[in-house]
Amino acid sequence: MTSRRSVWWARCGVLLAVVALTACGDGEGPPEVVNSTADGMLFALSQSSRADGGNDALATGTVVDADGCLMLEADDGERFVPVFPYDTQVAPALRADDIVSLGGGFSSGAAPAGTSVPRECPTSGPFYFVNEGSVIAQGAVTSIDGSAVTIEVDTTDPLSRSCSLVSFDTSGLATRDAVVGDVVQVHHDGTVRESHPCQVTAVAWTVEPRAD
């Protein structure tokens, strides 16, 4: 059974699909928020949706269970708190020891107003505000096996620092007349699982026109 613990929003009136809220009002205190992974780690939430924000930096790290708080640990050992959009589809599926790359941007100091940080997590930064909107990876197709497509990531793409090859599933996506060697753009949700090749969840893909 999923662990249920309480954290508090700094403001009332935010409607969440992933949490249960109690009513806000005089004398009733802050709303109760429940946000945890399947194995009980609590994660921080912002008031932004998955479609908001940009990708100023790419954060790669290993998911760690820090006394009940979901944190990421970078290769140099530094830990930071990822803050997910309120309608996150990524955080609930994460587990300890997952290696992920997330699009978004860092923030130092105290968490901005409106950020829900579990009591189990550090109250000061660094925080990493995750953007789960469409992120684009670009590269040349190296293999096509049914609905599975693998690309060699362009060296100008920040993703290439952690992944040379990226694989994605085209099931449910528009059919493209792609062949090995074509350059494609893969729109994905911003989460990269660092297997070999790395894995992304594609929401769309396009093929660049071939040179004559």
Same domain, 147 and 124: no
Tokens standing for residue 121: 């997590």
Same domain, 117 and 153: no
Q: Does pTM surpass 0.75? A: no
Q: Which of 98, 133, 168 is the last residue of a domain?
A: 133
Same domain, 149 and 119: no
Q: DSSP labels for 97-156?
A: T-EEEEEEEEE-SBPPTT-B--TTS-SBS-EEEE--S-EEEEEEEEEEETTEEEEEEPTT
Q: Does 150 reside within a domain? A: yes
Q: What is the pLDDT at residue 56?
A: 60
Same domain, 56 and 30: yes
Contact 105, 56 (CB under 8 A): yes
* pLDDT tens sequence for the chain (212 residues): 333 222 222 222 232 333 332 233 343 433 344 489 888 999 999 988 765 555 566 788 889 999 999 999 998 999 999 999 888 878 887 889 887 777 788 888 888 888 999 999 998 879 999 887 667 789 999 999 999 999 999 998 878 888 999 999 998 887 888 999 999 988 787 778 888 999 998 877 888 887 76
Same domain, 127 and 167: no
Q: Could you list the residue range(s) of the whole structural domain that residue 200 is in?
A: 135-207
Q: Does 72 reside within a domain? A: yes
Same domain, 45 and 146: no
Q: Does 196 reside within a domain? A: yes
Q: Which of 89, 107, 133 is the last residue of a domain?
A: 133
Contact 152, 142 (CB under 8 A): yes
Q: Dump strand ranges (E) for the chain.
A: 7-8, 32-33, 44-45, 57-66, 69-73, 79-84, 99-107, 127-130, 135-145, 148-153, 165-169, 183-193, 198-207
Same domain, 103 and 182: no
Q: Does 158 reside within a domain? A: yes
Residue with tokens 């729109």: 187
| CA–CA gap between residue 15 and residue 123 (Å, rounded) | 23
Q: Does 212 reside within a domain? A: no
Q: What is the pLDDT at residue 5?
A: 27
Q: Does 178 reside within a domain? A: yes
Same domain, 102 and 141: no
Q: What is the pLDDT at residue 19?
A: 33
Provide the domain count of the chain.
2
Contact 141, 167 (CB under 8 A): no
Same domain, 21 and 81: yes
Same domain, 114 and 172: no
Q: Does 22 reside within a domain? A: yes
**In terms of Cα–Cα distance, which of 182, 146, 145, 137 is closest to 164?**
137
CATH number at residue 158: 2.40.50.140
Same domain, 126 and 142: no
Q: What is the pLDDT at residue 105?
A: 85
Same domain, 9 and 65: yes
Q: Which of 133, 151, 168 is the last residue of a domain?
A: 133
Q: Does 145 reside within a domain? A: yes
